[in-house]
Amino acid sequence: MATKNPSTSNFIRLLTEHQIPIKGLIISMAPGCQDVDDILQDINVVLWEKKNTYKEGTNYKAWAYAISRNKVMQYWDQQRKLGKMSLSNEFLESVAEARKDDTPNHLKDKLDTLGRCMQSLKPKEQQLVHARYSKATTLEAYASQIGSTAGSMKVSLHRIKKKLKSCVEKNLPLKIHQA
């Protein structure tokens, strides 16, 4: 049986289903990067433009990850040309390889568990995490707002990350630990 191009609705379903894993790949390959959403948007445009090269019934995730990996590599090439800090290609390739077996459900379970663990934090800890990762502000500015130092905020964040990691590992569904 010959493979064919997917219908528009099937392609949109696949594209939507794989947003979390693709974003996870971007975050892994561009840690701390504030351009993750822009990179994801660029990847979505390329995936859409190349939708006719995807053959229905083949591994969509592998196809989308290859394109995503290339876009993130292009991002780092641009950062190098601008003289901004970048990661080595070897590191980026190893991260992409490690993420290739992630499934949308696997990542959804991890995110759901992280959300529950976030709720178990004290309100001040939640505010610090939110300020650091969700708002368009620097750690220094947030520290100044609450009458603290960036150094003490970094120490607090490190402790919170350890607490969240422990909580997630302890509360992840068993099937994920075996994956």
For the record, the structure tokens of 161 come out as 């990350």
Chosen domain end from 62, 81, 99:
99
Q: How far apart are CA 113 and CA 170, in angstroms?
A: 10
Q: Which of 48, 77, 99 is the last residue of a domain?
A: 99
The pLDDT score that the predictor gives to residue 117 is 85
For residues 119 and 93, membership in a common domain is answered with no
Q: The domain that contains 155 carries what CATH number?
A: 1.10.10.10
64, 23 contact by CB (below 8 A): no
Q: DSSP string spanning 41-56?
A: HHHHHHHHHTGGGSPT
For the chain, the average pLDDT equals 80
Cα 164 to Cα 1: distance, rounded to the nearest angstrom: 48
pLDDT at 1: 44
Q: Per residue of the chain (179 residues), give pLDDT as tens.
A: 445 666 889 999 999 999 988 988 888 777 667 888 999 999 999 999 999 999 988 999 999 999 998 998 888 888 777 766 555 566 566 666 656 666 556 666 776 787 788 888 898 988 888 777 665 667 788 889 899 998 998 999 889 888 988 888 888 765 444 44
Is residue 21 within 8 A of residue 104, CB to CB? The reply is yes
Report the predicted TM-score, pTM, of the whole model to 2 decimal places: 0.52
So what's the pLDDT on residue 171?
85
Query: What CATH number should be reported for the domain holding residue 49?
Result: 1.10.1740.10
Are residues 85 and 133 part of one domain?
Answer: no
Domain that holds residue 149: 104-177
Kindly state the percentage of the chain with pLDDT values over 70. Answer: 74
Residues 34 and 74 in one domain: yes
Question: In total, how many domains does the chain have?
Answer: 2
Check whether residue 153 and residue 122 sit in a common domain.
yes
Q: Which residues contact 69 (CB under 8 A, 6 or more apart)?
A: 25, 29, 92, 93, 96
Is residue 2 a part of any domain in this protein? no
27-62 pLDDT, tens per residue? Answer: 877 766 788 899 999 999 999 999 999 998 899 999
